[in-house]
Structure 1
Amino acid sequence: MNKSTLTAAILLSAAVSCGKRSDTPGYAGEDLSGKVTVSRDREEKTAVLTVTLPGEWELYAGAAPETIDLSAPILTGSGAGSYTLPVPAGTRSYFQFETGGNRAILAERQLPMSGGFNMRDLGGYRTSDGRHVKWGRIIRSDDLHSLTNEDLAYLASIPVKTVADFRSLQEVRAMPDKLSPQGMTYVGLPITPGSLDDLQSYIAMTPEEVEAKMEWMNVYFATSDEGRERYRELFRLLQETDDAAILFHCSAGKDRTGMGAALILYALGVPEQTVMEDYLASNGYLAGKYSRYAERFPQLKGMLEVKPNYLSAGIDSIRTAYGSVETYLREELGADIGKLREFYLD
């Protein structure tokens, strides 16, 4: 850690010396995406700030984005470095980073699940018109079967109130979700293709056949009656209320969930390049989850990862049939674009 440039601010004394701030948390100035990030260790859940920018900066914190305390920074620093943050490990915090005239709201992209690999907040993405997806409202994930009590307590602190599960009934029976005893509404939205129960059928395929099957599967997600019905229900859930987080998932959190996340980001006006980057990020997060399968069956590599052409196959099929993704979202999935952006954009 870069301790020479780090000053831990004592909240009480800083509040007295600096006084109250009149503004509210938000974004301003230069886009800080990728230049300053927060991450948490999956096991210990400790939070770390990584800065790649020069100049002096301040960091503020709160239990929710709208309640970030701007009266006193929890940390100040100068220049690049990594800094352990003095916030609780067991509950989620949100941060406002300020440097010069620039500021941004931050939280960890990958939620720190000891029993999960690919649970990610869709918050913080910048839209084409300069707004940002709200943190702590839409979460994509792999299965919840192995979550620990500490993991569930962390999700409850967000709070996650609705869980939408794209796994098949067979997958659900074999590995049921673990849900918070503090209350989560479970909604089953089974989409059959994409199940890891199909693993045996992929073993007999050539790598080219595996890739072709993955492309077909993404077309199925987007255009089949089953796929459209399930994603229609996902958008209905998103449009019901924005007062708590919704988490949607499948087994790996990369295919059925990957298409769902892409459709949501398109609806919110996130640029296509960012949509693809979010989709491809599963490869990094899932590296440790299926490594034993990849080592034993190298021909399965194309099935255990995501590639640009997989998602593109589904999105291209939408554009061919409907002219645009937005038309598909409105006409087939019942997406109220205006309401979604009102609910989920800062």
Structure 2
Amino acid sequence: MTYKNLLSYLTLLFILPSCTSRSPNIVAVCEEDKVGNNIIKWETPSRIKGKVKVYASTSPDRIPPRNPIAIADISDHRLTVVTNDPVQRYYYLMVFDNRYRVKIAGRKIDILGVQNLYDIGGYKLNGGRNVKWGKLYRAGEIGNLNHYALNKLKNTGIRTIVNLDNTFSEQKDIFFKKKIGIQCYFCSFIYCWKPDIQRLAAKGDY
């Protein structure tokens, strides 16, 4: 199984029902600045007026709509969330005009020693569903990580790394499992759907 097929299969495991067909097309993005704050931007149809409220949580599955961390006019199209702990990863629920909800998070995650780490959540799929946030990531080479980087990687919630290019040594595998509880698996491009990975995906034990 190729990398593309593996990614497609995993994506199907982590999907959420979207809003109803009556929901307007709201586009929102979250970007991390150089000091770790999150800049949230959005575009909405002109008919949507009023306020947008933003709620935060460290869990992508549970963001209670209580005590908003930020409120802005929808017409502002952006706001900045100042974070006191840049190591911690946050997920945001945006409520527009007390009616329309959009869940977002920072897509690109900057961790020293990890190349091009991206959360694949939020992408729309056929059938009106979205990929869940905080469940499926892609990255390039993972090098040596210091204590700060290890904590930031741990806070993504990643529990399994599927290595497609055999760059992980046995020592690094043991190190990741011992330090931050991440299990590593090697999969070649020719055959990368081994029974142990099938079991993880089927049970959701990723």
Match of 1:236 among 195, 198, 201: 198
Write out aligned runs for 1:89-128 (5 A): 89-100=86-97, 101-128=99-126
State how far apart, in whole Å, the 2-side matches of 1:60 and 1:75 are.
7
Report the CA distance shift for 1:234/1:106 in structure 2 as closer, same or farther (over 3 A).
farther
TM-score by length of 2: 0.73
- Residues 240-319 of structure 1: matches in 2 within 5 Å? 240-244=202-206
Q: Deviations over 1:283-334 (max 9, x none)?
A: xxxxxxxxxxxxxxxxxxxxxxxxxxxxxxxxxxxxxxxxxxxxxxxxxxxx
The percent identity for this pair of structures is 19
TM-score normalized by structure 1? Answer: 0.45
1:51 aligns with 2:42: yes
Q: Please state which structure has a larger fraction of its residues in helix.
A: 1
Deviation at 1:147, TM superposition (A): 3.5
* Separation of aligned partners in 2, 1:83 and 1:243: 35
Distance 1:241 1:153, change over 3 A: farther
Structure 1 unaligned residues grouped into runs of 5+: 1-25, 192-226, 245-346
Structure showing greater Rg: 1
Partner of 1:65, secondary structure, is coil
Between the aligned partners of 1:133 and 1:81, the Cα distance in structure 2 is 24
d(CA) in 1 for partners of 2:200, 2:76: 38
Q: Could you tell me which amino acid in structure 2 is paired with residue 108 of structure 1? A: G
- Give, in angstroms, the shift of residue 237 of structure 1: 5.2
Counterpart residue number, 2:56? 61
SS at 1:111 equivalent: strand
- Larger fraction in strand: 2
- Report the more deviating stretch, 140-149 or 128-137: 140-149
Distance 2:86 2:113 in 1: 16
Q: Does 1:138 align with 2:100?
A: no
The structural deviation recorded for 1:151 is 2.4
The CA deviation string for residues 239-262 of structure 1, in whole angstroms up to 9 with x for no partner, is: 243255xxxxxxxxxxxxxxxxxx
Gaps (5+ residues) in structure 2? 1-16
